[in-house]
Amino acid sequence: QWTTASIVDEQVTRIREQVGTGRAICGLSGGVDSAVAAALVQRAIGDRLTCVFVDHGLLRAGERAQVERDFVAATGVNLVTVDARERFLGALAGVTDPEQKRKIIGREFIRVFEQAAQDLQDKAGAEGERYDFLVQGTLYPDVVESGGGTGAANIKSHHNVGGLPEDLQFALVEPLRALFKDEVRRVGTELGLPETIVQRQPFPGPGLGIRIIGEVTAERLEILRSADAIAREELTSAGLDRDIWQCPVVLLADVRSVGVQGDGRTYGHPVVLRPVSSEDAMTADWTRLPYDVLERISTRITNEVSEVNRVVLDVTSKPPGTIEWE
Ligand code: XMP
């Protein structure tokens, strides 16, 4: 009979067998899968694991702190944070096409991660050690989707790491390969990870970059981050987190609408609330959020985020609309 504790024990044993006295690197995305995979490997090999977290500047409010403070506090893991915010903004300057944004973000992410891995390798090399293993949070559905190939073949773009250079030869450690998402969450809880990490809703690898319709700039990110934080706060305090799959907040950055605030006319931007219910993100229904919750979100956003003077609700199912606007 499988219990969560026995899954943890078995994986810890396997990881120890695989890694031996070697060292491993793990890229953290802020998501559940990489966090749980890293926590398992750290349980198995302790400080011979180093995690790398790339801050691409497209994160939501508090997400970096969640990794740097909460994840580290829960696991005691070695963490390197790379602040790549300027680099990503530079690469995204002038870009409005969604697929183009995804390509750029994926490409830059890999480059930054490669460099961080190389730096770690160089440092370890100076002490006569090296990193031979790369930890990935591949789940069973990922394995099935890609026809059951090896980990290297089914790396998804954006928040997983792929295409490492020839001179960085890693063997993959994939302790979640046999598990489904709900099992991964239970393993995370068993390992002592906080609820905020274990129960996190899906968030796309390209982050807020694909929730700004138009060019991504530092100022627009700040506006969206503030509006998004309010929506999440209100949904959480209404106890709705488990009822919705996710609720993207989208900034229509190139659209302006007239408003009136105080005794002045404003000419601001609309944001869209996109609450959806889903089983697997392949199809989705728009969530009938209570009117009072919608009202609180709308009032707070227009009061607290001065550049936003209109909040609209997306009532489209998937299909025909995708969950994200880009
Ligand atoms: P769509 O918009 O295709 O989204 O209905 C389905 C699910 O996937 C997430 N999503 C992404 N995740 N990189 C990711 O890692 C991406 O480029 C990406 N695009 C969408 C989305 O948030 C939803 O959960």
The pocket around ligand 1, CB under 6 angstroms, is made up of: 102, 158-159, 202, 204-206, 246, 281, 318, 322-324
Shortest-distance Cα residue to atom 20 of ligand 1: 204
Q: What is the pTM of this model?
A: 0.92
Shortest-distance Cα residue to atom 21 of ligand 1: 204
- What is the value of ipTM here, to two decimals? 0.99
pLDDT of residue 166: 61
Shortest-distance Cα residue to atom 16 of ligand 1: 204
Which atom of ligand 1 is the closest one to the Cα of 245? 24
DSSP letters spanning 302-317: HHH-TTEEEEEE----
pLDDT of residue 153: 35
Tokens, residue 259: 């408003």
Ligand 1 centroid to residue 318 C-alpha, Å: 12
pLDDT of residue 164: 58
Pocket test for ligand 1, best of 211, 324, 325, 326 (most atoms within 8 A of CB): 324
pLDDT of residue 169: 81
Ligand 1 centroid to residue 224 C-alpha, Å: 18
Residue 249 CB contacts under 8 Å (≥ 6 apart), including other chains: 211, 224, 227, 228, 231, 271, 272, 273, 274
Domain annotation for the chain: domains and CATH numbers: 4-198 (3.40.50.620), 211-313 (3.30.300.10)
Ligand 1 centroid to residue 282 C-alpha, Å: 10
Is residue 157 classed exposed, middle or buried when 0-12, 13-18 and 19+ CB atoms within 10 A define those classes? middle
Based on its alpha-carbon atoms, the radius of gyration of the chain, rounded to whole angstroms, reads 21
pLDDT of residue 168: 64
Tokens, residue 92: 């995204």
Residue that has been written with the tokens 């936003």 in this structure: 308
Ligand 1 centroid to residue 326 C-alpha, Å: 9
Shortest-distance Cα residue to atom 22 of ligand 1: 204
Ligand 1 centroid to residue 163 C-alpha, Å: 21
| pLDDT one digit per residue (tens) for the chain, 326 residues | 679 999 999 999 999 999 999 999 999 999 999 999 999 999 999 999 999 999 999 999 999 999 999 999 999 999 999 999 999 999 999 999 999 999 999 999 999 999 999 999 999 999 899 999 999 999 999 888 776 544 443 333 444 444 556 666 899 999 999 999 999 999 999 999 999 999 999 999 999 999 999 999 999 999 999 999 999 999 999 999 999 999 999 999 999 999 998 889 999 999 999 999 999 999 999 999 999 999 999 999 999 999 999 999 999 999 999 999 99
Shortest-distance Cα residue to atom 10 of ligand 1: 204
pLDDT of residue 150: 45
Which atom of ligand 1 is the closest one to the Cα of 248? 22
Pocket test for ligand 1, best of 249, 323, 325, 326 (most atoms within 8 A of CB): 323
pLDDT of residue 158: 40
pLDDT of residue 160: 45
Residue 136 phi, psi dihedral angles, 5° rounding? -130, 145
pLDDT of residue 148: 54
pLDDT of residue 312: 98
Smallest CA-to-CA distance from 251 within 283, 284, 219, 282 is with 219
Ligand 1 centroid to residue 142 C-alpha, Å: 14
Which residues contribute to the annotated binding site for ATP? 29-35
How far is Cα 113 from Cα 74, in angstroms, rounded to an integer?
24
Ligand 1 centroid to residue 70 C-alpha, Å: 25
